[in-house]
Amino acid sequence: MEIDPFIFRLSIFILSIFIGYYVVWSVTPSLHTPLMSVTNAISSVIIVGAIIAALAGASESIFNTSSIFGFIAIILAAINIFGGFLVTQRMLQMYKKKKDKKK
Amino acid sequence: MISANLAAIFYLVSGILFILALRGLSSPDTSRQGNYFGIAGMIIAIVVTFLSIGNFSTSLVYVIIFLVIGGAIGAFIAFKIPMTAMPELVAGFHSLVGLAAVFVAIAAFLNPAAFNLGNVGDIKLASLIEMSIGAAVGAITFSGSIIAFLKLRGIMSGAPIVFSGQHILNLVLGISIFVLIFYLCKTQSTNIFWTVIIISFLVGVLLIIPIGGADMPVVISMLNSYSGWAAAGIGFTLENTALIITGALVGSSGAILSYIMCKAMNRSFVSVILGGFGADNSTDDKKEKKDQKPVKSGNAEDAAFLMKNASSVIIVPGYGMAVAQAQHALREMVDKLKKNDIKVTYAIHPVAGRMPGHMNVLLAEANVPYDEVFELEDINNDFANSDVAFVIGANDVTNPVAKTDPKSPIFGMPVLDVEKCKSVLFVKRSLSPGYAGIDNELFYKDNTLMLFADAKKMTEDIVKNLD
């Protein structure tokens, strides 16, 4: 009997939860704020769904109800992607050791 | 146009890069590299999506235009935002992820053919369940984060909003979402789909309004987790590995952070969610008691004298430091102390501030080297061997009552053993109780000197007196 592809995706999902569990526990507490901003940025990979929805409009007209939702979602996710990664970068730049304190 | 299999492999690669991005955060040295991994993963995912659709018509131009508009707004915010506003920024970003998830789910519902999910009115059952869960969790994340944002920004009062029957109402709404999803699967009705989303928006609001200001670290972490589960739900709908992996990572990351925050407050997750903590109820009789107890208060000169004659000083920052923007003045003070060969370290309680790691970021912004900043368990034994503890903007996390009085609402919460220092300098605007609404015994200890002033002004005055 064939295995439903859903089961494979579920396996990936469950295993990723475990990976997340171990990886996040190893994050140093002083970097918890950057952790939140970077998880924010990566969860915006939801933009792939938005792009599919937006491009699907092309068959009839560029803007139909479904693709408009896609386009708005692109803006929202893009704000998050750029904002999330850049603000994380800005924060991480500030973490310095004692030695390189001299500018 | 690339094949679906090849695309799936690239999505897997970007998922792995996201894992490495989080992995990098295990140390500040590797964290910057980790962030680049994350960016690379995102670029791969977006490019592969374009290639796998293979639609290079005019609509692609619009996609890129919208992408650039969003990107420009995001970049602008990222560069402009002051570090003290980080908690509300993160809450705001969570709301965007939530809303994006809702919109993608709506788009998929209205045009399932584009996602290979069947046709309008005949969407595959599994996909329908996945997308409605994704939409519901996304909607809760969105409205919940908006409330959290308003509370953190101070537009809405941080005080918990409670009314009778609140929990029952939430329960009823929660159950009705599941019932509606069940009927949605049977009827494929558009109206039911919209109703699910609207009720979820309502649940998000109701869930966050009873939670008070100082429980915000838990709320933000929890919403972080929700945004992950919403992304994962959409990932299942789109059958996209990158999204499933990311959703799981973010979901568990937020859950762990909520757990750490709850533990640091010695409160159960359920009690935080049910909310109502810290509501003003018994402050009046506390005030009477306070008047009777003697308090030693001093000025900047006394504080500077004490610190100049110390050989080691531990700084305990809290939310008040963030509010007063005192981190730069504080660093100046510490530099002066260091010139006099005084050993200075920082002690940070896990729930200091309004989000996990909030204090660390502020100190980093003020150029404090991160190897001088210590977590509660690493530094707590040092208080006994130190001369001066300088408490700036923290309160409940230093209250010895948590160790001594089983009746206290914060009993059992891990606190910094500040009172073990030879002397304690406590910068605070007044004797008012902290967020937990309880009096801090530390104020009345013989070795405590209260410095009544704004944190920033007091620190600046001390700097002047150190010369």
A33: pLDDT strictly greater than 80: yes
- How near does any CA of chain A get to the CA of B195, in Å? 17
pLDDT band of residue B12 (cuts 50, 70, 90) is very high
Q: Do B306 and B344 touch, CB atoms closer than 8 A?
A: no
B371–A35 C-beta distance less than 8 A:
no
Contact list in B for residue A49 (CB cut-off 8 A) is 104, 107-108, 115, 234, 237-238, 240, 243
Mean pLDDT of B351-380: 88
Tokens representing B289 are 């008691």
Q: Can you give the pLDDT at residue A60? A: 61
Q: Which residue in the list B284, B291, B341, B396 is annotated as catalytic?
A: B396
Q: Which of A6, A45, A85 sits opposite B243 (nearest CB)?
A: A45
Residue predicted with more confidence, A10 or B466: A10
A9 in contact with B at a CB cutoff of 8 Å? yes
In chain B, what percentage of residues exceed pLDDT 90? 35
Contact list in B for residue A16 (CB cut-off 8 A) is 15, 19, 244-245, 247-249
B331: pLDDT strictly greater than 70: yes
B105: closest chain A residue by CA: A49
What does the alpha-carbon distance between residue A84 and residue A92 come to, in Å, rounded to a whole number?
12
Q: Can you give the pLDDT at residue B296? A: 82
- How near does any CA of chain A get to the CA of B237, in Å? 9
pLDDT band of residue A43 (cuts 50, 70, 90) is very high
A41: pLDDT strictly greater than 60: yes
Mean pLDDT of B448-467: 86
Helix (H) or strand (E) holding B230: helix B216-238
Structure confidence by residue, pLDDT tens digits, B88-126: 999 999 999 999 999 999 999 988 888 888 888 788 888
Contact list in A for residue B227 (CB cut-off 8 A) is 40, 43
Residue B437 CB-half CA count within 13 A = 16
Q: Can you give the pLDDT at residue B449? A: 85
A61 in contact with B at a CB cutoff of 8 Å? no
How many Cβ atoms from other residues are within 10 Å of residue A57's Cβ? 25
Structure confidence by residue, pLDDT tens digits, B396-433: 888 888 888 787 777 788 888 888 888 888 888 877 76
Q: Do B368 and B334 touch, CB atoms closer than 8 A?
A: yes
B72–A17 C-beta distance less than 8 A:
no
DSSP string, A57-85: GGGT-S--HHHHHHHHHHHHHHHHHHHHH
Q: Can you give the pLDDT at residue B95? A: 95
Mean pLDDT of A14-43: 92
DSSP string, B321-370: HHHHT-HHHHHHHHHHHHHTT-EEEEEE-TTSSSSTTHHHHHHHHTT--G
Q: Can you give the pLDDT at residue B172? A: 92
Q: Can you give the pLDDT at residue B292? A: 57
Residue predicted with more confidence, A91 or B271: A91
B254 in contact with A at a CB cutoff of 8 Å? yes
Q: How many CB pairs under 8 A join A and B?
A: 379
Contact list in A for residue B31 (CB cut-off 8 A) is 31, 34, 92, 95
pTM of the shown model: 0.88
A8 in contact with B at a CB cutoff of 8 Å? no
Tokens representing A88 are 């994380």
* 3-class secondary-structure state, position A97: coil
Q: Which of B126, B257, B373 sits opposite A6 (nearest CB)?
A: B126
Mean pLDDT of B246-252: 94
A7 in contact with B at a CB cutoff of 8 Å? no
pLDDT band of residue B282 (cuts 50, 70, 90) is very low
Query: Which stretch, B13-27, B209-223, B261-275, B396-410, has highest mean pLDDT?
Result: B13-27
B59: pLDDT strictly greater than 60: yes
Contact list in B for residue A9 (CB cut-off 8 A) is 235-236, 239, 241, 244
Structure confidence by residue, pLDDT tens digits, B367-402: 898 888 998 888 888 888 888 889 988 888 888 888
A79: pLDDT strictly greater than 60: yes
Active site (annotated) includes residue B396: yes
A53–B115 C-beta distance less than 8 A:
yes
Mean pLDDT of B213-218: 80
B288: pLDDT strictly greater than 50: no
B232–A52 C-beta distance less than 8 A:
no
In chain B, what percentage of residues exceed pLDDT 70? 94
pLDDT band of residue B286 (cuts 50, 70, 90) is very low
A55–B63 C-beta distance less than 8 A:
yes
What does the alpha-carbon distance between residue B219 and residue B356 come to, in Å, rounded to a whole number?
11
pLDDT band of residue B165 (cuts 50, 70, 90) is confident
Return the exposure string of B53-84: e unless at least 16 CB atoms fall within 10 Å of the residue's CB, then b.
bebeeebbebbeebbeebbebbbebbeebebb
pLDDT band of residue A90 (cuts 50, 70, 90) is very high
ipTM score: 0.92
